[in-house]
């Protein structure tokens, strides 16, 4: 015992385990949903007719539901369960407020339910992993801050001096996700469930991937690393291999991760220097990440026998291995030339699933197998079933990632292969689609096997809980001698004038902070008025969308076409040969939100305008495989029935104008009649060619938009 | 592209924020002992009811 501790008195206190139980059960529930939706969309890709022509379960609308459920519902609840369990024990303090814990739990579950009730209806902001509309975004911010307050105040109230490294990972998670979420979700509402991103085009892309990459970093990595540094030592009952290394791991990660975002935009219209920054930082990330992986695995040293017998240890060890794989693959994919091959292909899907199913999933499973017997004061019902789960899930992951690696590399090679004459070897995109469909089936099977393993776990956990003692307390008692905390700003540590002068380092840092805040404040006005932000490009020939095109664009966003189609032709030979001149920044300068996309299940659409007549799109959207043999694009029959909302266009244009899109006052005024005129002329053209269509149908607006892509002067303002 | 003028300072600010936290943690003695915390984690807490049973 140290001198300081002897001065204190032994204190007894209890931990709130009820909240951990709740988050644990929620994790299991949402995991089932996320996996199930994942399997449905995987099957829809192999067999598009599966959706039965129902708009609510079409691929483009379900895919965001799957990603949100996996990240925020499954991984989110797992993180919270682990954080609430480990923080109390590491800090020797009960969570700051039981009420806030309850608010956090129910608030988070309501957000998930709200997501499940809005995304299938096409209520989306159209930005990946940030699809939820603005009222839900506000709720997320509120609940997240409540969680942060709860965590930080528990740290303040702690009874041990040293803050264990896991807690640092949790702190970084809270702070960074809060900032990223607020910045990226900035939007101006048009109605209760429709808004336009505050940023446009390349700016929106940079903000989105700054967020997107750090969502992976600070939602799926740092909190899980914290959990790893707690649960691996606990599971093998040995101290972490090198505590010093874990501290270094933490601090290097937080300084490097923030800069890696642009690696999602390599070879695009984003300026080269920004791409290079993203690439360099991404490659640097490899080193601390592997330090962390080795640290996690080496913790098991001397207890290797447990790897053979203990399912918990198996899950945790394989999880750390997948962390190592993903953090090697990530930096590799961030190298421009590798990225040229891998970007937009299923390789990326393999990469994220190795991370999500292997790293996050296995860590969560291992943690739950550890937690449930402890929380419910019993033994695990069956170790054997847990072992079976482990092997089944591993086979599931292998089927999944192997098929997607094969598919991704096949796509990448086929897209860019040229013959001796320098022409594309596979000029029809659909040739490259048909080739990988067998692999889509294998992927779906892999997902089902993984789910099967999970169902074994559900059964095992259910049995464990139902066989647990009926009457039990939801509290765990502990005791310790609290350390005497020094007041934050007094005594030798005071940041008083004298100390500041005496410590040039502190002074320098504080100055840097001041400059940072200052520059932030001075740049904020620029942001708020994007007319200033994008003024450099206003002279370009690019004209804003006509109201009808805008209505069509909103349909494109609503249907999630961006989940299958990119709108960004890269500066690579393969892209330019196939889709035309590389996309420029100007072409998306009025795009709130941008729709560059990240995946090409179908071809790029940046220059699809004028490629086909209106009638082609009319028929193709109704039944793609009838027009293009072998297409796996879903049918969009409802667009031919549902009516365009013309009345809201005035409001939409006025919001766009506010965001800096150069519409005149009279453009806004006549938005509705103008759109109707344009729709009438398109519909008349279609009818002349024999199509049976009325001008107020959504398909007309969508065609207006599709024909505008790559034709910057088509339509436009007066 | 002018969004860079926001993103770069914002990212710098986050970095500087963590740097301050790092230095502050150092001053508060968080990095003095990097051996025992790893072991202390392993000391198990006890369940209320279990403990009573044992008495």
Q: Give me the CATH number covering residue A254.
A: 1.20.210.10
Query: For residue B16, which residues of chain A lie inside 8 Å, CB to CB?
Result: 509, 512-513, 516
A377 in the same domain as A431: yes
Nearest-angstrom CA–CA distance, A282 and A287 = 10
Q: What is the pLDDT of residue B55?
A: 39
Query: For residue B7, which residues of chain A lie inside 8 Å, CB to CB?
Result: 206-207, 210
Greatest distance between any 2 Cα atoms in chain B = 69
Give B29 to chain A, closest Cα distance, Å.
Answer: 8
Q: Are A69 and A34 in contact (CB under 8 A)?
A: yes
Q: In this complex, which of B13, B48, B49 lies closest to A520 when CB atoms are compared?
A: B13
A271 in the same domain as A402: yes
- pLDDT category, A518, cuts 50, 70, 90? low
Query: For residue B2, which residues of chain A lie inside 8 Å, CB to CB?
Result: 203, 526, 532-534, 536
Nearest-angstrom CA–CA distance, A593 and A565 = 15
- Is pLDDT at A394 greater than 60 in this prediction? yes
In the three-class reduction of DSSP (H, G, I as helix; E, B as strand; rest coil), residue A623 is classed as coil
Query: For residue A233, which residues of chain B lie inside 8 Å, CB to CB?
Result: 38, 41-42
Tell me the average pLDDT of chain A.
Answer: 89
Instruction: Tell me if A218 is assigned to some domain.
Output: yes
Q: Give whole-number Cα distances, A173 to A73, A215, B53, in Å.
A: 16, 9, 39
Residues 240-269 of A with CB under 8 A from B: 240, 243-244, 247, 251, 254-255, 258-259
A570 in the same domain as A447: no
Query: For residue A207, which residues of chain B lie inside 8 Å, CB to CB?
Result: 3, 7
Overall domain count for chain A: 2
A562 in the same domain as A502: no
pLDDT digits (tens, 9 = 90+) for A1-55: 344 444 457 888 899 999 999 999 999 999 999 999 999 999 999 999 999 999 9
Instruction: Tell me if A586 is assigned to some domain.
Output: yes
Q: What is the pLDDT of residue B42?
A: 86
Answer whether B5 sits within 8 Å of A523, measured CB to CB.
yes
Q: In this complex, which of A199, A203, A477 lies closest to B51 when CB atoms are compared?
A: A477
- pLDDT category, A273, cuts 50, 70, 90? confident
CATH code (residue A691): 1.10.760.10
Q: In this complex, which of A161, A210, A243 lies closest to B34 when CB atoms are compared?
A: A243
Greatest distance between any 2 Cα atoms in chain A = 93
Q: Mean of the pLDDT values across residues A261-285?
A: 88
All residues at 6 or more sequence positions from A22 whose CB lies less than 8 Å from its CB, including other chains: A105
Q: What is the pLDDT of residue A112?
A: 97
Q: Are A42 and A407 in contact (CB under 8 A)?
A: no
Q: What is the pLDDT of residue A333?
A: 94
Answer whether A202 sits within 8 Å of B15, measured CB to CB.
no
Give yes or no for A4 touching B (CB within 8 A): no
Instruction: Tell me if A489 is assigned to some domain.
Output: no
DSSP symbols for A153-197: HHHHT-SSSS--HHHHHHHHHHHHHHHHHHHHH-EEEEETTEEEE
Q: Mean of the pLDDT values across residues A550-567?
A: 97
Q: What is the pLDDT of residue A494?
A: 45
- Is pLDDT at B27 greater than 90 in this prediction? no
A30 in the same domain as A164: yes
Q: Mean of the pLDDT values across residues A640-653?
A: 95
Q: What is the pLDDT of residue B17?
A: 85
Nearest CA in chain B to A161: B30
A584 in the same domain as A501: no
Query: For residue B30, which residues of chain A lie inside 8 Å, CB to CB?
Result: 162-163
Query: For residue A210, which residues of chain B lie inside 8 Å, CB to CB?
Result: 7, 11
Domain boundary among A486, A512, A538: A512
With a pLDDT cut of 90, the percent of chain A lying above it is 75
A566 in the same domain as A504: no
A23 in the same domain as A145: yes
Q: What is the pLDDT of residue A717?
A: 58
Q: What is the pLDDT of residue A486?
A: 64
Q: What is the pLDDT of residue B47?
A: 52
Mutation for A interface: B19, B20, B41, most A CBs within 10 A: B41
Mutation for B interface: A175, A477, A495, A496, most B CBs within 10 A: A477
A557 in the same domain as A503: no
A575 in the same domain as A508: no
Instruction: Tell me if A146 is assigned to some domain.
Output: yes
Lowest mean pLDDT among A166-180, A246-260, A370-384, A390-404: A246-260
Q: Give whole-number Cα distances, A409 to A225, A323, A329, A355, in Å.
A: 30, 22, 14, 18
Query: For residue A253, which residues of chain B lie inside 8 Å, CB to CB?
Result: none
Give yes or no for A298 touching B (CB within 8 A): no
Q: Residue A431: give the domain boundaries.
A: 6-468+496-512
- Is pLDDT at B48 greater than 80 in this prediction? no
Q: Mean of the pLDDT values across residues A483-496?
A: 56
All residues at 6 or more sequence positions from A605 whose CB lies less than 8 Å from its CB, including other chains: A561, A565, A566, A567, A706, A709
Strand partners, A194: A191
Answer whether B15 sits within 8 Å of A255, measured CB to CB.
yes
Short-list A706, A703, A698, A700, CA closest to A604: A706
Answer whether B1 sits within 8 Å of A210, measured CB to CB.
no
pLDDT digits (tens, 9 = 90+) for A208-239: 998 999 888 899 999 999 999 999 999 999 99
Q: What is the pLDDT of residue A504?
A: 54
Lowest mean pLDDT among A558-562, A595-599, B16-20: B16-20
A260 in the same domain as A207: yes
Nearest CA in chain A to B20: A509
A3, with CB counted inside 10 A (0-12, 13-18, 19+), is: exposed
Query: For residue B4, which residues of chain A lie inside 8 Å, CB to CB?
Result: 206, 274
Size of interface A-B (CB pairs under 8 A): 131
Nearest CA in chain B to A527: B3
- Is pLDDT at A116 greater than 60 in this prediction? yes
- Is pLDDT at A525 greater than 60 in this prediction? no
Q: What are phi and psi of A48, to 5 degrees?
A: -60, -25
- Is pLDDT at A381 greater than 50 in this prediction? yes
A181 in the same domain as A103: yes
């Amino acid at each position: 015992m140290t001198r300081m501790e002897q001065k204190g008195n032994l204190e007894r206190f209890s931990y709130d385990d009820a909240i951990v139980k709740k988050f644990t059960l929620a994790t299991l529930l949402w995991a089932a949903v996320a996996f199930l939706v994942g399997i449905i969309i995987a099957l829809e890709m192999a067999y598009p007719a599966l959706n039965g022509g129902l708009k609510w379960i079409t691929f483009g609308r379900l895919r965001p539901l799957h990603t949100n459920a996996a990240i925020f519902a499954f991984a989110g609840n797992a993180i919270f369960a682990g954080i609430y369990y480990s923080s109390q024990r590491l800090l020797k303090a009960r969570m700051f407020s039981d009420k806030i814990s309850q608010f956090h739990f129910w608030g988070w579950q309501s957000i998930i339910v709200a997501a499940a009730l809005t995304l299938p209806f096409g209520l989306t902001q159209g930005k990946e992993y940030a699809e939820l509309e603005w009222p839900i975004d506000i709720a997320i911010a509120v609940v997240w801050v409540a969680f942060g307050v709860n965590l930080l105040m528990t740290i303040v109230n702690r009874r041990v001096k040293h803050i264990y490294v896991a807690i640092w990972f949790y702190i970084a998670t809270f702070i960074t996700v809060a900032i990223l979420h607020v910045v990226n979700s900035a939007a101006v509402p048009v109605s209760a469930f429709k808004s336009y991103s505050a940023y446009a085009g390349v700016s929106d892309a940079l903000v989105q991937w700054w967020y997107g990459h750090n969502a992976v970093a600070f939602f799926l990595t740092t909190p899980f690393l914290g959990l790893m540094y707690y649960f691996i030592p606990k599971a093998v009952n040995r101290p972490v291999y090198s505590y010093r290394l874990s501290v270094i791991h933490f601090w290097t990660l937080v300084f490097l991760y923030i800069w890696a975002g642009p690696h999602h935009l390599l070879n695009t219209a984003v300026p080269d220097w920004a791409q290079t920054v993203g690439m360099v930082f991404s490659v640097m990330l490899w080193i601390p990440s592997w330090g962390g992986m080795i640290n996690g695995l080496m913790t098991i040293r001397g207890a290797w026998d447990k790897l053979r017998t203990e399912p918990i240890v198996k899950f945790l060890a394989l999880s750390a291995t997948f962390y190592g794989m993903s953090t090697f693959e990530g930096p590799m994919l961030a190298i421009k030339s590798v990225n040229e091959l891998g970007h937009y292909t299923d390789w990326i899907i393999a990469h994220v699933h190795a991370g999500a199913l292997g790293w996050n999933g296995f860590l969560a499973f291992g943690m739950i197998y550890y937690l449930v017997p402890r929380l419910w004061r019993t033994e695990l019902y069956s170790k054997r079933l847990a072992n079976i789960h482990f092997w089944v899930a591993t086979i599931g992951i292998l089927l999944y990632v192997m098929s997607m690696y094969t598919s991704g590399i096949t796509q990448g090679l086929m897209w860019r292969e040229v013959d001796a004459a320098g022409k594309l070897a596979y000029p029809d995109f659909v040739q490259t689609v048909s080739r990988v469909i067998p692999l889509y089936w294998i992927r779906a099977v892999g997902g089902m096997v993984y789910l099967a393993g999970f169902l074994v776990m559900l059964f095992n956990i259910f049995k464990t809980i139902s066989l647990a003692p009926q009457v039990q307390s939801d509290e765990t008692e502990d005791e310790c001698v609290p350390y005497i905390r020094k007041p934050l700003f007094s005594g030798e540590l005071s940041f008083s004038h004298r100390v500041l002068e005496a410590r040039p380092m502190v002074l320098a840092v504080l100055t840097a902070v001041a400059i940072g805040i200052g520059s932030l404040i001075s740049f904020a006005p620029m942001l708020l008025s994007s007319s200033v932000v994008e003024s450099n490009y206003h002279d370009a020939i690019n004209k804003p969308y006509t109201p009808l095109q805008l209505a069509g664009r909103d349909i494109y966003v609503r249907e999630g076409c961006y989940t299958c189609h990119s709108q960004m032709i890269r500066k690579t030979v393969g892209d330019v040969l196939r889709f035309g001149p590389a996309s420029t920044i100007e072409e998306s300068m009025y795009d709130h939100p941008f729709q560059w996309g990240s995946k090409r299940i179908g071809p790029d659409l940046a220059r699809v305008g004028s490629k086909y007549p209106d009638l082609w799109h009319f028929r193709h959207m109704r039944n793609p495989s009838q027009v293009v043999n072998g297409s796996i694009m879903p049918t969009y029959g409802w667009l031919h029935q549902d009516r365009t909302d013309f009345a809201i266009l005035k409001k939409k244009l006025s919001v766009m104008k506010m965001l800096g899109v150069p519409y005149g006052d009279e453009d806004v005024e006549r938005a509705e009649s103008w759109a109707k005129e344009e729709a009438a002329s398109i519909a008349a053209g279609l009818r002349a060619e024999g199509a049976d269509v009325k001008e107020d149908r959504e398909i007309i607006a969508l065609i207006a938009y599709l024909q505008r892509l790559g034709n910057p002067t088509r339509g436009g303002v007066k | 592209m002018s969004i860079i003028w926001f993103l770069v300072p914002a990212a710098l600010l986050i970095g500087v924020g963590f740097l301050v936290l790092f230095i502050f943690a150092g001053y508060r003695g968080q990095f003095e002992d990097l051996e025992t915390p790893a072991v202390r984690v392993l000391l198990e807490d006890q369940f209320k009811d279990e403990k009573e049973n044992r008495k």
